[in-house]
Chains A and B, each alone.
Chain A
Amino acid sequence: MTPAEVASALQPWLAERFGVDAVVVDDVERRTEGFSWQTYIASVRWREPDGTARRHDVAIRRQPEDGLLAPYDIEAQFRLHQALVLTDVPIPPLIGLELDVSVLGMPFYAMDKAVGVVPVQWQGRDPAVFPDDETRRRIGLDFVDTLTVIHGVDWRTARLDEYLPGPAGGDAGTAEIDRWEGFLNEATAVEVPLLRAALGWCRRHRAVSDRLVLCHGDYRIGNFMLADGRINVVFDWELAHIGDPVEDVAWAGLRLFRGRSPLVSQLLPLPDVLTRYRERTGLDIDQDVLRFWTVLGMVRAAAPHVRGAAAFERGRSGDLRLAAMGHQTLHVMKHLADELGWTEPATVGTAISS
């Protein structure tokens, strides 16, 4: 949809949500950072009965027809967001959910637009975000602290497990291996043996902590916003689930999000992340557990790339960036091979080295 079409479609819907007769929606902008949910930001203006001019900036999350992480469950996303608004997790207030596809072509929900800057992995040296090492370190500590706030959410009382994936009585490692193997089974157009081999490694080396928490599932640079040097919003909860907290720690530290930096999400050295996390939660992260979740994280990182290219192949998306992911995933798989010691070109019959 064009920005003008989005504006026109949203006007009656937002007027109803704000309890006024009519609003004007303008400055609609589609954000292009993400490859999954379609995010629009817009300004909503109206006049109160007394003539006072009002403006409210909103963000719209529209469910894509297909994409990297399909199928999507927008109701679960909305319910989770509703639950998190009641906690200390930094997340914007909600405006409403719309399941009727006649409005925007697909279901969507609206929230307040947050104001700040989003550091991204390909601009990890942006002086406007990271003017000096001390600032980077301070943001890094806040990054870990915010993760511990997420992991501290009382998911049992909030009954998040009623609609989020989780181990359901089993162990968190097996649950995630099964989930991502199932995802690959559905996603893959042409088999990728390396990912199957890595899943086999994960099954043989499964190691988990003794805790179950609300995992963000995609906690890293690129998925939070900064305002006044502090994290004011955590984005992109579509991979949230009940799981092992170490999964989020390992994910944040993947090479994919480090670029050429040695720092976890280009923010903080891994030992400092582990120390801070232990100070805040009491969990001393075991190296075997961290490695297991790192390897599975790399499979998780590669799988949506495979899914994106397949979605393009099947004509479910015309976004050429998804087709390009079919090549980009090779870099993620190289990280995976490096982690497992599968670095050198091997001939048939070469022994497994890890």
Chain B
Amino acid sequence: MQNSLQRLFDGMAEALRDVVMPEVADDYARAQIAACIELLANVSTRVEWRVDQLREVTERADAAVGAAVALTPDMANAPGMEAVGGSDAVVARDRALARVSAALRWCDDHPSGDDGAEPLVGFARWHLHHELALLRTGMFRG
């Protein structure tokens, strides 16, 4: 997920107000759009990404990096490996994913990287299927 919840709510409301509404002539349909915009604005102040899902990703990413570092200790000093944690669950998730990617880049650049890459690729596989399990739509399915 590349987008923040607030940006998605704001973007959906903007598209309805600035793009869709001017093209709709029917009064009832316009009222529905206006209600959607209002609901998006008011729901946006009451929701956040599911913390249980964010924490699961963070914990599994951290575990994968930990396992990779145990196999290839030099990886611990690689660029991008320093930032961890954070009280905000989204920030912590983003940092954990960044560490996995930094560790994978280190593996590409070092002869011993194949060993360390295994738990990282394992996490990447899990992460994809975790995200796919949450998906409800898709034009490219199949």
Closest to B109 in A: A203
B135 touches A193 (CB 8 A): no
How many residues on A have C-beta within 8 angstroms of the other chain's C-beta atoms? 46
Closest to B94 in A: A190
- Known interface pairs A200-B107, A347-B126, A350-B118; A331-B100 also in contact (CB < 8 Å): no
Closest to A334 in B: B132
From A191, A199, A330, contact of B132 by CB (8 A)? A330
Give the number of residue pairs across the A-B interface with Cβ within 8 Å.
140
A331 touches B125 (CB 8 A): no
Interface assignment of B25: CB less than 8 Å from any CB of chain A = no
A193 touches B138 (CB 8 A): no
Q: B122 — which chain A residues lie within 8 A by C-beta?
A: 346-351
Q: B67 — which chain A residues lie within 8 A by C-beta?
A: 348-349
Closest to B130 in A: A345
Interface assignment of A59: CB less than 8 Å from any CB of chain B = no
Interface assignment of A320: CB less than 8 Å from any CB of chain B = yes
B14 touches A200 (CB 8 A): no
A223 CB, min distance to chain B CBs, angstroms: 17
A332 touches B140 (CB 8 A): yes
From B11, B107, B126, contact of A312 by CB (8 A)? B11
A-contact 0/1 string along B70-111, CB 8 Å cutoff: 000000000000000000000001100110110011011000
A346 and B126 CA atoms in complex are apart in Å by: 5
- Known interface pairs A320-B15, A350-B125; A197-B2 also in contact (CB < 8 Å): no
From A313, A330, A344, A347, contact of B3 by CB (8 A)? A313
A-contact 0/1 string along B108-139, CB 8 Å cutoff: 10000110011111111111111110010111
B-contact 0/1 string along A105-133, CB 8 Å cutoff: 00000000000000000100000000000
- Known interface pairs A191-B97, A196-B124; A349-B15 also in contact (CB < 8 Å): no
From B8, B18, B63, B125, contact of A345 by CB (8 A)? B125
A255 and B138 CA atoms in complex are apart in Å by: 14
Closest to A187 in B: B2
Interface assignment of A306: CB less than 8 Å from any CB of chain B = yes
What are 9 A-B pairs with beta-carbon distances under 8 A?
A: A193-B61, A320-B11, A326-B1, A326-B3, A328-B138, A331-B139, A346-B121, A348-B60, A351-B118
